[in-house]
Structures are given as structure tokens and as C-alpha cells.
Amino acid sequence: MKEQGADLIIALSHSGIDGSGQSDRMENASLYLAGVEGIDAVFTGHQHLVFPGPKNFDGIEGVDPVKGTLLGKPAVMGGFWGSHLGLIDLLLEKDGNSWKIVDFTTEARPIYHREDKKVVADVPDRADVIAAASAEHEATLAYVRTPVGKTSAPLYSYFALVADDPSVQIVSNAQTWYIKDMLKDTEYKDLPVLSAAAPFKAGGRGGADYYTDVPTGDIAIKNVADLYLYPNTVQAVVITGAQVKNWLEMSAGMFNTLAPGAKDVALLNTTFPSYNFDIIDGVSYQIDLSQPAKYDGDGKAVNPDSNRIQNLAFEGKPIDPAQKFVVASNNYRAGGGGKFPEIASDKVVFAAPRHQPRRHRPLHHRRRHDQPVRRRQLEFCASRGRDGDFRERTEGTRVDRRRQGREDRGCG
């Protein structure tokens, strides 16, 4: 580009900031992109975070979260869904026949703030822009409000991080049905099929109103999009029972360590993205929160002897570490997204096409959601077999909280 006469090169990178070391096909590569000779500034994203901003990127070598630089070059990340306007202001100086950067500022400018839990705009509407987009806007609203099915039970994600959740379950049901259908005439037809799905809208950094809530009645196109936000495709991997356990160990990083007897301890790890909290349908298990997380956010075994996942069972029996399973998931996870241990593209045995015929669309088969959740039992406990253990037990769509005495040995 320089040879073709460009004075400045600005990289538009739909990739986040990660200082764990450069690797092939890494998900968040903007830091190392900034190190490419000739690139002058970087607009980054993907992580739905704000940069510059000292909260999210402190301590990463080569990153200045206050000045807003990656390897000394100006960079910005503008939050998500238009929450911020990313600005890079360059002061240029003529240098012979070209221009060079002599100074700069970067800023992620919010477009709103919250008062009493309400969103208050920091900038006014532009009437001319609203008028220009009005016809297309109304046509889009009419389209997304088109009914495509019905549900006899509400689909919500308010408790998706602590209990069986209908918004996750319907995705797992669809994935399981689809993968069984696609593999029925293959060499994998006799392997048991599990399904891994995560809640996308579960509060957290998305805000206090960032949840899925579809009432009973018609399901519109907008509701389908709300249940599954991203344009992922269905994929299936073949892994062992031991790898299923490690998959769940990685997911259990969603929770903080709770010391037995501790009071008023935050349950959830707010730095752990909800889209990485995979719930595997088809097995039952408990999560022992008195033990530390086995893996960090990069999939590294920081506590290799920790075993949060207890009593992992398939069809009521302890899972065989050597048994093979098909796990239905999406292309992000199956391709290594989230850095789950041993889960990568070399395990993929089926990948759905990005544009599928209507008869093979995963969500098309089930237009009613009226089945209770019975295939998975998920329990949390803060200690192992002590008097007065507190545990949440999910049965069907009901959460049963009860004290455990000595006769019930908690998380085993």
C-alpha cells in the first residue's frame, strides 16, 4: 500500500487485544497486528470492551490502556452495539512528499450514561439521518416482527448462569436433533450425542437489562435472533469422556472459589464471558466451588490438580474417560474459540454449511418449547460433605435449594 502511494495505513481489525503470545489463527490478535511494519493505527473490536480504558487491559506488555496504544501505535475499541464512538485524532506533518504522524490522541467516547438504572443519551438525534433511514427502518421492524412459530412456555435467560435455562435448552435440543440426523448414516451413528450450548445474554458486562425474555405465544424472527445472537454454524466434534470433563472444567471458570462457611461471597466471576459458560446436555454433574478453577481464561491449567467437576455421569453411570462422544456445538467453539483445552478443528467430524436448505435448519424442527429439562442435573456446592452444605439442585425446570446433612455427601 505504501508503494501505491498511501501515506498512512489504518488497520480495521475485528479482533481483540490479547498479550498471551502470538499464535496462528489466534482470536484476539490486534496487539500483534499493531506490530506489523507500516501500520500506523488500529481500530480493534470483537471483545465488546472499551479501549483506551484501564479496567480491561492493565498489565499486558505492549499495551498502554491510558494513552490508548498497542506497541506504541494509536488504537481504539468502541465497546459494542454502538455504545461508544472510537476516536483516533492524528496530528500530521508534511515530510517531503508525504505525511507523518507527530502526535495523536485516542478516545472511546460513550454515547449514553445511566441514571437510576435508565439509559440517558449523551448526544441528540439527527433528524435528517432519522428521516433518511425511516422507510428502511420500518420495513426492518415489520420483518423481524414476523411470527415463525409458537411457544407454550416462556424462554428467558435470567438464571442461565445458576440453573437450567430454557433459552439454552432449546438451542441444545435443536443441535442434538440436527447432529443425530446428519450423522445417522455415517461411521459415528452409534456414538452418543451430547450438546454444548452457552447463554449469550446473561447480564454481566452487557448491562442489567441484557437478558433474553420471550413470552408465551408467537415466536417472531427477532426472538429467534435474540435466542442465538451470532451467525454461527453447527459443528460436531468427537472427544473422549476425559475431554468432556475438561470441557466442563473450563466452563466452571464462570464461578469464584467459595470457602466453606464464607458469607456474602460473590458467586460469579465477572471477567468470564457468559458465551464461554458451556452447559453440556446429556450428562449430569456437580460443580464443587470449594476448589479453585482448573483453567484460566486462556485454557492454561493453573490449578492442574483441581477437580471442580464431580460425579460426572452419562445415563446414570460414572462417565468412562475413554468412551467416545459426539458433542454438538458451533463453529466458534469447535474451531478453538474460547481456548477450551483440546477442543479444536482437528476434532471436527461434521460442519454444517453456512446457508442450509430450510429442511435442515437446526431450529426449524421444533416450533414449540413445552418440554421440561430432564437430561441434565447441575448442582453447586461450596464444600464437600460437611454439615449444612448449601446446594442448588435443578430438577426439570425447578430449582430446589436445600440443606445437605451428613447422610448426603455433597459434591462427593
Q: Which domains does the chain have, with CATH numbers?
A: 10-114 (no CATH), 148-404 (3.90.780.10)
CB 38 within 8 A of CB 9: yes
Over the range 81-106, which residues count as b (16 or more CB within 10 Å of their CB) and which as e? eeebebebebeeeeeeeeeebeebeb
23 vs 21: CA distance, rounded Å: 6
Residues with Cβ within 8 Å of 318's Cβ and at least 6 positions away in sequence, in order, are 311, 312
> What DSSP state is assigned to residue 353?
-
Whether the CA torsion 344, 345, 347, 349 is positive or negative: it is positive
Distance CA 2, CA 89 (A): 21
- CA 63 to CA 69: how far, in whole Å? 6
| Three cell numbers written together for 126 | 439527527
Q: Which residues pair with 11 in a beta bridge?
A: 42
Q: Count of CB atoms within 10 A of residue 111's CB?
A: 14
Written as tens digits, the pLDDT of the chain (412 aa) is 888 888 999 999 999 999 988 988 888 999 999 999 999 999 999 998 999 986 789 889 999 999 999 999 999 999 988 899 999 999 999 988 889 999 999 999 999 988 887 889 999 999 999 999 999 999 999 999 999 999 999 999 999 999 888 999 999 999 999 999 999 999 999 999 999 999 999 888 777 888 999 999 999 999 998 888 888 999 999 999 999 999 999 999 999 999 888 888 899 998 899 999 999 999 999 999 999 999 998 899 999 999 999 999 999 999 999 999 999 999 999 999 999 999 999 999 999 987 654 443 433 333 333 333 333 334 444 333 333 332 333 333 222 322 223 333 344 4
Nearest residue to 243 (alpha-carbon basis) of 278, 275, 289, 268 = 278
- What's CA 214's distance to the chain center, in Å? 20
* Residue-level pLDDT at 355: 60
Distance, CA of 347 to CA of 369 (rounded, Å): 31
Query: Cβ distance 296 to 302 under 8 Å?
Result: yes
Query: For residue 137, what are the CA distances in angstroms to 82, 142, 227, 245, 252?
Result: 17, 9, 22, 46, 41
Question: What does the pLDDT read at residue 4?
Answer: 85
Per-residue model confidence (pLDDT) at position 63: 96
Give Cβ neighbours of residue 391 (< 8 Å, ≥ 6 apart).
379, 380, 381, 401, 402, 404, 410, 411
Say if pTM beats, i.e. exceeds, 0.75: no
Neighbouring C-beta atoms of residue 132, cutoff 10 Å: 11
pLDDT for 175-190, tens place per residue?
999 999 999 999 999 9
Nearest to 39 by CA among 63, 83, 69: 69
Closest CA relative to residue 276, chosen from 252, 249, 251, 246? 251
- What pLDDT is stored for residue 356 in this prediction? 52
What's the rounded Cα separation, in Å, for the pair 330 and 164? 20
User: Can you list the pairs that 394-403 forms with residues at least 24 positions away whose Cβ atoms lie under 8 Å?
Assistant: 394/163, 394/164, 396/164, 396/372, 397/153, 397/164, 397/166, 397/372, 397/373, 399/159, 399/162, 399/163, 399/164
* pLDDT the model gives residue 1: 85
Dist. CA 154–CA 128, nearest whole Å: 39
CB contact burial 351-370 (16+ within 10 A = b; e otherwise): ebeeeeeeeeebbbeeeebe
Q: Is 48 helix (H, G, I), strand (E, B) or coil?
A: coil
Within 8 A by CB and 6+ apart from 353, the residues are: 233
Cα 412 to the chain's mean position, in Å? 30
321-326-328 Cα angle (round to 5): 125
User: What pLDDT was estimated at residue 412?
Assistant: 43
Which set of grid coordinates corresponds to residue 223? 426472538
Residue 284 in 3-state DSSP? strand
The pLDDT value recorded for residue 402 is 28
pLDDT at 137: 97
Which 3 state secondary structure label does DSSP give 140?
helix
| Rounded Cα–Cα distance for residues 249 and 287 (Å) | 9
